[in-house]
Amino acid sequence: MASLSIKRQGPFSVVDKATWRQVCPDKLRKMTLEATRPPLEALQSPERAAHTRSVQPRTASRATIQVHTAIEETRNVTSVVIAAHNEETVIGRCLDGVVGPDVQVVVAPNGCVDNTAEIARQRPGIEVVELTQAGKAGALNAADAIAEGFPRFYVDADVTLPAGALDALRAALRQPGILAVAPRLCYDVRRRPLPVRAYYAIFTRLPAHRHALFGPLAVGLSEQGRERFERFPDLIADDLFLDSLFGPAEKRRVASTTVTVATPYRTTALLRRLVRVRAGSMQMRQANPGGTVRASNTFSWLRDVVLPRPWLLPAGVVYAAITVAAQVGARRALRDGIRWGQDRSTRAASPAENSVSEAKGAVNR
């Protein structure tokens, strides 16, 4: 929100019209008029003004304090935007990680056929804007239109921020020149098949992931950072879109807070996830040719990871094979049409439930 600009010209105060429209909703206009009214003694003779000054209450000063207090309260609110599609198994944990006395949480269930919206509505203070049509970009934009505070965070419904994470991320955004932040990511590969563990053994060591913002969405923007774009485009790779808006010196992974990412329980689920990721990256580059989207570094896994660590060569072979298969699948998916999808295998409490969830969620892939 813009700050209230009041300029003194003699005994009168002038409020910039653009600022008036942005800052002064109906409930503040009366206080603002009182705050900007010329002091009574300025319209009187010196003798009369001296007498009035001794008996009139300082109404203008109190009104000014009220206006500035209301504006500062809005400035101190942090907004969290969550797009959710059939996330009843995880939305509760996500909300637990972001609720707080100075946090506005807006959830946008979209195209849900489960209880995601009802679970969010049951939480005190949560604002819910429900959309009948599924689509992540539309949901992010709908919730973003309601959000009021800064910093503003965009969080995937299957991401759980640990205690104190929002405070650490907000503190990082107060550092000079930092416009976008995200927590450090830790990929959980326990009880996963060998190909999945091999893939992430290489993936987590790639230099591109040390400071970039892409990955599970948990990105915070300052007010200045949010001004870099108007709306989320209708693209799959919302994380890559945000990452492309900021230079290396303007974005940061905050090492003091970590989000654990559940990796797929099956190699086929990993491949489906990577097809969506690769297709989203290709779609982003097609929509922004010659833009600031990070270029793909095909042999970084070999040059930057395996050659300095020869013992990772077997994992590197698996990584390369899965990556090539995902690339081929992504080209086919772009040709046939692809939309926002989910890895249902990581959204259930146990492997037994995973198979059920994957079967139910197959239509959304």
Task: Say what the pLDDT of residue 15 is.
Answer: 42
For residues 41 and 190, state if they share a domain. no
Q: How far, in Å, CA of 68 to CA of 73, rounded?
A: 9
Q: How far, in Å, CA of 365 to CA of 358, rounded?
A: 10
**pTM of the predicted model as reported, rounded to 2 decimal places:** 0.74
Boundary-marking domain end, from 59, 74, 89: 74
Give the count of domains, the chain. Answer: 2
**Structure tokens of 90?**
């995880």
Boundary-marking domain end, from 74, 101, 116: 74
CB 242 within 8 A of CB 182: no
Task: Say what the pLDDT of residue 18 is.
Answer: 43
Residue 271 lies in a domain: yes
Which helix (H) or strand (E) segment is 156 a member of? strand 152-156
Give the structural domain span for 300.
Answer: 161-364
If we measure between CA atoms, which residue out of 210, 333, 216, 324 comes closest to residue 276?
A: 333
Residue 151: cis peptide before it, omega within 30 degrees of 0: yes
Residue 341 lies in a domain: yes
The tens place of each residue's pLDDT in the chain, 365 residues long, gives: 444 444 434 333 344 444 434 444 444 444 444 444 444 444 444 554 444 444 444 444 454 444 444 444 445 899 999 999 999 999 999 999 999 989 999 999 999 999 999 999 999 999 999 999 999 999 999 999 999 999 999 999 999 999 999 999 999 999 999 999 999 999 999 999 999 999 999 999 999 888 889 889 999 999 999 999 999 999 888 999 999 999 999 999 999 999 999 999 999 999 999 999 999 888 888 877 555 666 678 899 999 999 999 999 999 999 999 999 999 999 988 887 765 556 666 666 433 333 333 333 333 32
CB 93 within 8 A of CB 155: no
For residues 67 and 208, state if they share a domain. no
**Structure tokens of 243?**
């990452």
Any alpha helices (H) in the chain, and if so which ranges? 17-23, 26-36, 46-55, 59-75, 91-96, 116-122, 136-146, 165-173, 194-203, 223-226, 238-244, 267-287, 300, 313-336, 351-360
For residues 170 and 30, state if they share a domain. no
Residue 310 lies in a domain: yes
For residues 173 and 283, state if they share a domain. yes
If we measure between CA atoms, which residue out of 135, 141, 94, 98 comes closest to residue 116?
A: 94
CB 108 within 8 A of CB 130: yes
For residues 68 and 212, state if they share a domain. no
**Structure tokens of 29?**
């206009």
For residues 192 and 340, state if they share a domain. yes
